[in-house]
A = this chain, B = another copy of it.
């Protein structure tokens, strides 16, 4: 592997000069610059990143820690972050926290040890790291410690879903929230509820019932069955909105078990737009999380962290598919 020294020799300049053209330092005169670039070309020179890292104390790598890369939502995020990083010729180092606060800390520390130039964490805990660092850290989707959060505008997204259902004529609606110990779950619920309440009038009242579950399939199926079986026929909701696609898909399953037609007898809406959402029968109406924008914003934050470290809410988009229809 040729080094900067080889390039310097070949171009007949000092290593300092080579380094300066590498750094796109404009002070190098054109003719010299050209000679250096030619030499780099001829030798197929690639800078040794470790050496650079040692000097600058930072490397062109963004650390990313997610609870579990196997979760399609995080995978989407990871992919978009990788693409965004690539645009700036940065790589990404991936770590899973396996939903464990301790592991999460360890992983972040390991990343910092490796002199990454920033870390993006989709938190599983609200923990903070004690170790002081001036490496920018940003939370994605779920807040980590006191670091700025980039996330979908859950509140507004849920409002939009509520509106969609309302416009379809639904006046008996059930909402299945996620675990309310989680901020995301609360925000989504608040958005939904507030919109429904604003829409409900004495003349045209909306009957909204609330449930709380986990974000997963089973919870959706269980709650779906409960709502559909136990609520007296006359009061049974004509639409169920869930705080996650997984829950919504669970509801779909319970509806099928009970021989209810979706969207004929019941409209179902989710949140997230995971891949599966467009694969189930019927395809799920949902709020798409803006993966690209989320990733782009998070990566931006890393690079522009010089400035303020503030939260960013990114707007999602309602994707209307087959699981919702007019009453």
Contacts and interface: CB of A to CB of B under 8 A. Distances in A.
Interface of A: 46-51, 53-54, 57, 59, 61, 68-70, 72, 75-76, 78-79, 82-83, 89, 91-96, 110-111, 113-115, 217, 249, 253, 256, 275-276, 279, 281
Contacts of A93: 61, 91-94
B69 A75 contact: yes
A92 B92 CA distance: 9
Given A48-B54, A54-B48, A72-B72, A96 B114 contact: no
B96 A79 contact: yes
Contacts of A78: 69, 94
A44 to B, nearest CB: 8
Contact of A92 (B54, B76, B94, B276): B94
Contacts of A47: 113
A48 to B, nearest CB: 7
B75 A114 contact: no
Contacts of A110: 89, 91
Given A70-B75, A70-B275, A91 B82 contact: no
A9 to B, nearest CB: 21
Contact of A79 (B51, B68, B72, B76): B68
Contacts of A279: 217, 249, 276
A82 B69 contact: yes
Contacts of A94: 78, 82, 92-94
B83 A79 contact: no
A246 to B, nearest CB: 9
Contacts of A72: 70, 72, 75
A278 to B, nearest CB: 10
A284 to B, nearest CB: 14
A49 B113 contact: yes
